[in-house]
Structure 1
């Protein structure tokens, strides 16, 4: 699994950070920062929750990468 983010479209809601703090963070402007593009399998559920809760849909997962 590889995680991708579109920082240019991020609105800074921070749901991803709340749901998967080992994978996502925010910069000083509140924009998503990807900490780990290939997190451990135990992070799968949290990452999927972050993807589904992102209000702008800027996080997506490539299962084949």
Structure 2
């Protein structure tokens, strides 16, 4: 399954957008993962300073 963002923890800082190697994340009010592009590499999970992203 692709990465999942917890909207309550996400501050839309953009760190995950910068770290995603395939450009699967965009920012709106919170980060949103494009499931079709996500390769489940975990880069965003490791990069998120708020622990708002997980792989499920």
**Higher Rg of the two aligned structures:** 1
Aligned residues: 55
Within the candidate set 38, 48, 51, 1:54 is matched to: 48
Q: TM-score, normalised by structure 2?
A: 0.72
Runs of 4+ aligned residues of structure 1 deviating over 3 Å after TM superposition are 38-41
CA RMSD of aligned residues (A): 2.2
Q: TM-score, normalised by structure 1?
A: 0.64
Indicate the structure with greater helix content.
1
Structure 2 unaligned spans of 5+: none
After TM superposition, the structure 1 = structure 2 runs for residues 1-65 of structure 1, keeping only pairs within 5 Å, are 1-20=1-20, 22-27=23-28, 29=29, 31-34=30-33, 36-37=34-35, 39=37, 41=39, 44=41, 48-62=42-56
Structure 1 unaligned spans of 5+: none
